[in-house]
Amino acid sequence: MFTGIITDMGEVIAARQAGDLTLRIATGYDPEGIDIGASIACDGVCLTVIARGADPRPWFDVQISAETVARTTLGRDGWPVGRRLNLERALRVGDELGGHIVSGHVDGVADIIAMQPEGDSTRVTFRAPDALARFIAPKGSVALNGTSLTVNEVDGAEFGVNLIPHTMAVTTWGQAQPGDAVNLEVDTMARYVARLRERG
């Protein structure tokens, strides 16, 4: 489990396709503190560490199944070498829950359709897949590329969020632009509420 609070920006430094896709991701994390088999959310995708090292800079390897590729932004651009990624280590008992509960299981891919300044912040409008739009509510939470964000408004399959300058500075959102695809994970509570309504 994760919180949607990004703690590092990684960079894809190598990719290898041999059966499943294997990526090597440079990180600011101390590789000695990363266990083999640990989970790290990479742009919101929960991935398992299969190797780690520090030559010439700290890195870890993850193996990615075809199913994960198909359901995430990996299926759009393949995460090429040089791509920056939002990273978050798995939540540990006793850690502060600063965002919301995020599983790292991406529900689908949303598209950025507009970005505009609003005071010191940036208002970003997204279009979600129609099948996921009913799980997104004003003032509810979503995880976008692994970042816990609060929904401002919803209009059909479109919804908006505000990004404060701090978020833009410490995550990959500072490089985002209209037309980009992002990993979307809807709030778990919203999904359960919707299912309860269906049964009622």
* pLDDT of 99: 67
Q: What is the pLDDT of residues 73-95, one digit of tens each?
A: 999 988 999 999 999 999 776 56
In CATH terms, 8-89 corresponds, of 3.40.1350.10, 3.40.390.10, 2.60.40.10, 2.40.30.20, to 2.40.30.20
Kindly give the parts of the chain with pLDDT less than 50. Answer: none
Q: Map out the domains of the chain as residue ranges.
A: 8-89, 108-199
What SS3 class is residue 139?
A: coil
What is the b/e burial string over 158-196, where b = at least 16 CB atoms within 10 angstroms of the residue's CB? bbbbbbeeebbebbbbeebeeebbbbbbbbbebeeeeee
Q: In CATH terms, are 8-89 and 108-199 the same topology?
A: yes
Q: Which position has the token pair 């979600």?
A: 128
Q: Indicate the pTM of the whole model.
A: 0.92
* pLDDT of 146: 97
The token duo for 133 is 């739009």
C-alpha 186/C-alpha 107 separation (Å) is 7
* pLDDT of 188: 75
The distance of Cα 153 from the centroid of its chain, to the nearest Å, equals 20
C-alpha 114/C-alpha 129 separation (Å) is 16
The distance of Cα 156 from the centroid of its chain, to the nearest Å, equals 22
In CATH terms, 108-199 corresponds, of 3.40.50.1100, 2.40.30.20, 1.20.120.160, 3.90.1580.10, to 2.40.30.20
Q: What is the pLDDT of residues 109-143, one digit of tens each?
A: 999 999 999 999 999 999 999 999 999 999 999 99
Q: Which segments of 93-199 does DSSP mark as H helices, in order?
A: 130-133, 165-170, 188-199
C-alpha 150/C-alpha 141 separation (Å) is 5
* pLDDT of 165: 97
